[in-house]
Amino acid sequence: MDLHNIREDYRFDSLLEANLHKNPFDQFKNWFETYRHLGVKDANAMSIATVGEDGIPQNRIVLLKEVRQDGLVFYTNYASDKGQQLMQNPNISALFFWREQERQVRITGTVSKMDDSENENYFKTRPYLSQIGAAASDQSSPIKDRTALEAKFQAFQQQFPEGSAVPKPESWGGFQITPKSFEFWQGRSGRLHDRIIYTAQEGAWVTKRLQP
């Protein structure tokens, strides 16, 4: 398969110092809101990279659920591969690719577990089938086949019929990413893309332009 001829030129927008927000969370929210309004499916999907004890990076998509004043929140199973890796090594990198606007946002930081009360509160707001799905899945553990998985799901549905309170699995919950850097990439023509990186330095955010 030869993909050498797949090429795009980027002309959607620019990212200039004069228009930057001082705080990268504001810059992020501004870009995210404009992307969200396009109505793209899974606009809040981000790829997160983790590295556990084996030193091998692993990537997967999760959904960003909240942007706080000092962090970004996603939910998962703490006992999953990513959960275990993050407990061993809290360093994380998150990546958003907003193709329609020719933008990429790259974040590095560390994670902390959300409070259990916050996990409980959010779990209660999830749709019934998502609650059952979370309860029935030992995320990242092998299972014999699809039938066995569906049987587990149905057993939980019988035990907790719709309308009853589905208990949050012990190991289900959120991580907050506390960013150390945000890089905003805006595609430009002729590969002269704009790249601005914010890094946290002694309590303040410092910006630099990077070569594309």
Ligand X SMILES: Cc1cc2nc3c(=O)[nH]c(=O)nc-3n(C[C@H](O)[C@H](O)[C@H](O)COP(=O)(O)O)c2cc1C
Q: Looking at the annotation, which residues are catalytic?
A: 191
Instruction: Please enumerate in sequence order all residues whose Cβ is within 8 A of that of 82, keeping only pairs 6 or more positions apart, or say none.
Output: 48, 50, 58, 60, 62, 76, 140
Binding interface with ligand X (CB under 6 A): 42, 45, 58, 60-63, 74-76, 80-82, 139-140
Shortest reach from residue 32's CB to ligand X, in Å: 16
Q: CB-wise, 83 or 179, nearer to ligand X?
A: 83
CB of 66 to ligand X, least distance (A): 12
Q: Which is nearer to ligand X, 52 or 167 (CB)?
A: 52
Q: Which amino acid is at 174?
A: G
- Toward ligand X, which CB reaches closer, 8 or 42? 42
- What span, in angstroms and rounded, lies between the C-alpha atoms of 175 and 75? 6
Buried b (16+ CB within 10 A) or exposed e, 58-71: eeeebebeeeeeeb
CB 172 → ligand X: shortest distance, Å? Answer: 9
